Every structure is written in C-alpha cells, then in structure tokens.
C-alpha cells in the first residue's frame, strides 16, 4: 500500500493527480522541452526506483529526502511508506517493474531485513534489480551484506547526487533491455 499525501507537493514521488497523467510518468520522463530525462534507461523510460521503510522504524524523513532527490534527477519513484515487510517490498517492486529498490533503515535490523529481501528477490527471479539502501549500518555489516548481493549502502550525510549517480550507473550496466 502506498502512502497518501495531502497535496502533490507533499508527495516525494512528484505525482500530481491534477496533471492528466495519473501515473506521473509523463512528468518524470521528459523535461519541459519534451526531451528524455538524463536518467532514462536504455529502454527509453525513466529509471524506476522503489523506496521503502521496513519494520517498525517510524522515521522517514531521510527516505522522503532520497525519494525527492531521485525524482528531481529524473527517476520515477514509488514510495511505499512506513512499516513495510520484506514481502510487501519485494511484491511491490515486482508489480511496479522497478530497476532498483532502496531501503532506508535506522532500526538496527539491517542484518535481518536485507538478507530476507535479497532471498525473496532471488526466489522471484529479480536478479537484475538493484537492492541498495542507507542508514546506520556499521562497515563490517556493510561488507557482509554486499557479499550476499546487496549493492552499495550509504551512510547518513551521503550527497544525494552520489546516490542517484550510483543507481543510474548500476542500472545502465546491469539491466538487460
């Protein structure tokens, strides 16, 4: 279930229900001159990223900032909101045909959440979808998670342009269109 926002400006995905395009894809895929956005993938559509908060962690300011910055860099963002389960995240990612999943986690449950999500992704054949994220994750845990197949994990304070660039480069290198 996606989060509901009171006004289009509150919605970090940038979808505007008054735009005539209920998916928000038109706005995300072209600039004002009608050219493809800089982050369009080889298929000619914007890179699609699902951003989620898993578990009971109720602090989503960072996730909203990331979702907004990815949208502003030309990506299409699906923000699932708070208190998602790994199953909900993977099912939404599969349904939305995303290129990347970004998990924001501050609760300390990263060594449970990321392995569960990566296992579910493998079970569903999502081997060409990036699983990345950020939060308070010790360096040793980051290395262990990356050895399981999790992509780069970003600590607090990482410039949002670095995150968008990483996702863009990974998708261009690993997705088969």
Residue 33 neighbours by CB distance under 10 Å: 5
pTM of the model: 0.79
- What lies within 8 Å, CB to CB, of 7 at 6+ separation is none
* Tens of pLDDT, residues 39-90: 555 668 999 999 999 998 888 999 999 999 999 999 999 999 999 999 999 9
pLDDT of 44 = 83
* Tens of pLDDT, residues 140-164: 999 999 999 999 999 999 999 999 9
* Tens of pLDDT, residues 2-48: 444 333 445 555 544 433 443 444 344 444 434 344 455 566 899 99
Asked if 49 and 96 count as a contact pair (C-beta separation under 8 A), the reply is no
* CATH code, residues 8-174: 3.40.50.280
d(CA 67, CA 81): 11
Q: Where are the domains of the chain?
A: 8-174
Q: Which two tokens stand for residue 127?
A: 């081997």
CA dihedral defined by 112, 115, 120, 125, rounded to 10 degrees?
170
């Amino acid at each position: 279930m996606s989060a509901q926002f009171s006004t289009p400006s509150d919605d970090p995905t940038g979808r505007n229900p008054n735009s005539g395009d209920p998916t928000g894809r038109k706005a995300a895929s072209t600039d004002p001159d009608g050219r493809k956005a800089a982050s369009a993938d080889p298929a000619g559509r914007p890179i699609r990223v699902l951003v989620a908060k898993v578990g009971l962690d109720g602090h989503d300011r960072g996730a909203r900032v990331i979702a907004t910055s990815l949208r502003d860099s030309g990506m299409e963002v699906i923000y699932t909101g708070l208190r998602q389960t790994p199953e909900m995240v993977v099912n939404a990612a599969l349904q939305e045909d995303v290129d990347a999943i970004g998990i924001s986690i501050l609760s300390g449950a990263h060594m449970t959440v990321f392995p569960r999500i990566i296992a579910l992704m493998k079970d569903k054949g999502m081997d060409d979808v990036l699983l990345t994220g950020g939060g308070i994750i010790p360096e040793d845990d980051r290395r262990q998670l990356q050895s399981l197949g999790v992509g780069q994990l970003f600590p607090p304070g990482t410039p949002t342009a670095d995150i968008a660039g990483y996702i863009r480069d990974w998708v261009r290198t690993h997705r088969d269109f």
